[in-house]
Every structure is written in C-alpha cells, then in structure tokens.
Amino acid sequence: MALLDMQLYYLASQLLQVWTLRYSDKEEALYQLWQEVLQTELPPIHALETTSPGCSKPINNPILISQRYILTLANHTIKAENLGPLTPLWRNKKLAPLDKLIPPKSCLEAGIYTLGQVWTDQGMASFAHLKETDSIPNSQWFTYHKIRKAAQRSLNFRNTQLTVSSVVEVFKQEQTGHKITMFYRALMSPIIQRSPLKVRDRWETDTEQITDDQWDQACKLIAQHWKDRSPPTYPEWEKSIQETQAVEHMLARKNGTVKQHLSIWQLWILENV
C-alpha cells in the first residue's frame, strides 16, 4: 500500500491549469489575460515556453515564471528530454535558429503552432501535403526548409520520431473529468517503470514460477504485510489458496457444479491430500 505522493499531486493540479489554457477560447478572460502577460501573437498555451518578441517584461512576471517552472519540472520528472508533438514551433530556443524567425502570418492563420502539426512518423511532412491540408502558400517554401533543418538538428539527425510522453498524452485529451488523476498517473508511470516491484521475483526464487491467478491471490497477502520488509511466506500463500478452494467447493456443492469444480482444482487437491 502506497501513500499519495503529494509533490506529484500538486504538480498534477498545476498541470491542470496549463491544460485549461490549452482549450481556452480567444473570447475568454483567461485567454486575454495571458495574452497581455505574454505579449505575443501566439496563443498562450503555445507561448508559455517561448521567448517574447523583443520584450523583457514577461520574464519578470511571477505567474509566468511559475508556469514555466511547472512545465520544466513535469518534463524533468518523466525524463522528457526530446522534442514532442506539442513542442512550440515558433520563438522556441529548442529549435534555434528558428526562434529568431517571425512566425509567418499564413502559418498562424492556418493554426500551425506545434511541431506535431508539421511532422509525421517518417519525419517532416511534405510541403505539398502542407499546401493541400493547411493552404500554405508557395512563398513559405524557405520557411518550410528552415523548420525541417531546425527540427532535424534538435533531434541530432538520429531519428525522425517525436517523443509522445505520458503527460503529452493527457494534454491531447479534451475530456475534462478526472484530469488531476490522469496527470498524476502520467507523472507516476515513469517512476514505477524505473522502480519495478521485486516481490514476485523473490517468490519465484523461493518456489517456482507462478501463474497470474496465483499471483493475484498472493497480492491479497501482500496487502496484509505492507509494513514488512519481506514478502509473505509460501506457507501463508498455500494456506490462503487452500481456504479459497474450500469456499469454492462449498459453493459448487450448493450450485450443483461439483464436477466442474473438480476439473479446475483436481491437481491442487491431489497434491494436498
């Protein structure tokens, strides 16, 4: 049994505020307030991690500093070091020297703000594709190549895959329910992967490999020993299985399914006669 990690829970609640900004509308007060803080032509959610165009005031804003810290801390927690589909495309130092480029009006009008919008599993989407889907004019041919070159440089030319982190997956989901829980699980998942449970390994070292059903039964015993340094013993597990078999046998007699019960438990019964 594990207690809630309050630091990660707080971080998840802060990410919820950023997620709210992602789906805010231009007419909403929240959107307009952030536009005033960021002083940029980009939507607020795509400008939180970017540099403002020739203005130093936003960097001194405590709210902006706090939100940038939250995003940085979240990426650090899940070890998200590579570019992702929600990586801001404009005024982003990660895509230097593209960060010095004034965002083309045609791209902004087409709603192109993130790297994932111009990227595929095979790499940069073709210019013909962007012309067809986003009505990008021929005049943006050089801009297109600048984007591709900057992204490839940031990816170190090693692969064409963008990293879709667990947090990004939550950001991409529009449903509003249980969002803090979803962010919390996203933040916890890499930690759990880096610190796998060793209890089952220890059980199988002392006995033999056990099935998933047997492991489920063992987990019930683990909950009874959550304060202990060692896992439950094999005799405890064997006793628990025996008690389960006895209960199921009584139910089988009551329901007239003894034959089916014996076909399931016959090996266990024979070994424990």
pLDDT at 125: 87
Question: To which residue do tokens 């630091």 refer?
Answer: 7
DSSP character at residue 24: -
Residue 187 to residue 195: CA distance in whole angstroms: 14
- Does the reported pTM lie above 0.75? no
The end-to-end CA distance of the chain, in Å, is 35
pLDDT at 198: 58
* Element spanning 29, H or E: helix 29-38
Residue 118 to residue 122: CA distance in whole angstroms: 11
User: Residues 11, 181: contact at Cβ < 8 Å?
Assistant: no
Residue 207 to residue 254: CA distance in whole angstroms: 34
pLDDT at 154: 81
For 234, the token pair is 């094999």
pLDDT in tens, 27-53: 888 888 888 887 778 888 888 877 655
| Cβ-Cβ contacts under 8 Å for 1 (sequence gap 6 or more) | 223, 226
What residues of the chain score a pLDDT lower than 50?
1-2, 56-58
pLDDT at 159: 61
User: Residues 233, 242: contact at Cβ < 8 Å?
Assistant: no
Nearest by Cα to 271 from 242, 235, 234: 242
For 50, the token pair is 């970017």
Nearest 5°: the CA angle 152, 157, 163 is 70
Residue 121 to residue 162: CA distance in whole angstroms: 8
Nearest 5°: the CA angle 191, 20, 58 is 95
User: Residues 198, 46: contact at Cβ < 8 Å?
Assistant: no
Domain ranges of the chain: 6-190, 198-271
pLDDT at 58: 45
